[in-house]
């Protein structure tokens, strides 16, 4: 099966790059899975778990705020925050939770509230 060139970048550094069999992206309008030769697509991200599947292995990362850009050259995920799932505990988790709660209480447009609610929901599972 053809491999999907893929990269995950945050403002501070290039988080991961390489090839994958498929990547499951938490889009604003729902989860979608990207494989090689996907049609060009641009979607905003919703806070959630990004799953990178490659040769039977799985990497799970919490991502928040950004975009997924699928073009003929591959998939690029631009996320403001990216944290591997197994590091999502203790202090790091607490800070993320706090930030999401705070943003939720501040309110905003219905879309913003929905996004923050999702972040709170996802994080509550850890």
Residues that bind another protein (CB under 8 A): 7, 9-14, 27-29, 39-44, 65-67, 69, 71-72, 76, 78, 80, 111
Shortest Å, Cβ 56 to another protein: 28
Kindly state the DSSP code that residue 85 receives in the 8-state scheme.
Answer: G
Q: Is 126 helix (H, G, I), strand (E, B) or coil?
A: coil
Q: Is the dihedral of CA 20, 77, 101, 29 positive or negative?
A: negative
Looking at the Cβ atoms of 94 and 125, the one nearer to another protein is 94
Count CB-CB contacts under 10 A for residue 126: 11
Judged by beta carbon, residue 58 or residue 108, the one nearer another protein is: 108
Structure tokens that stand for 122 in this block: 């996802």
Which of 17, 89 has the CB closer to another protein?
17
């Amino acid at each position: 099966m053809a491999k999907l060139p893929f990269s995950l970048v945050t403002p501070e550094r290039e988080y991961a790059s390489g090839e994958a069999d498929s990547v499951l992206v938490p889009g604003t309008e729902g989860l979608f899975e990207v494989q090689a030769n996907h049609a060009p697509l641009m979607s905003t991200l919703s806070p959630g778990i990004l799953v990178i599947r490659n040769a039977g292995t799985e990497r799970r990362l919490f991502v928040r705020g950004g975009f997924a850009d699928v073009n003929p050259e591959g998939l690029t995920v631009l996320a403001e925050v990216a944290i591997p799932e197994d590091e999502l505990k203790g202090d790091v988790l607490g800070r993320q939770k706090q930030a999401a709660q705070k943003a939720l209480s501040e309110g905003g447009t219905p879309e913003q509230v929905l996004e923050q609610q999702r972040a709170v929901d996802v994080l509550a599972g850890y």
